[in-house]
Amino acid sequence: METDIVSLDDRLLQAFSGSAIATAVDKQTITNRIEDPNLVTDPKELAISQEMISDYNLYVSMVSTLTRKGVGAVETLLRS
């Protein structure tokens, strides 16, 4: 059985690129909804858009926090 070893750098790059793509798609979806006059005038659709914006905000905040914590951990390891 052959085991592929993936470096930490490669894993980080894969995770970051996947997250960046997903975030860009979500942002574009939200932007498209906001720019659609049919969706902006419907209260039900506005509530859906608001929930999507809230979810997007929470996701971006979580990624930001995890990134900051990860950088802090690496800095601590490099100092020791």
Instruction: Write down the residue that tokens 């930490």 correspond to.
Output: 8
pLDDT for res 37: 93
**Which of 10, 49, 2, 1 minimizes the C-alpha distance to 29?**
49
pTM: 0.76
Q: Which pairs with CB-CB distance under 8 Å and at least 24 residues apart come from 57-60? A: 59/23, 59/26, 60/23
* CB contact at 8 A, 66 and 36: no
pLDDT for res 44: 96
pLDDT for res 67: 86
pLDDT for res 1: 57
Per-10-residue mean pLDDT for the chain, 80 residues long?
Answer: 77 88 95 93 94 96 91 90
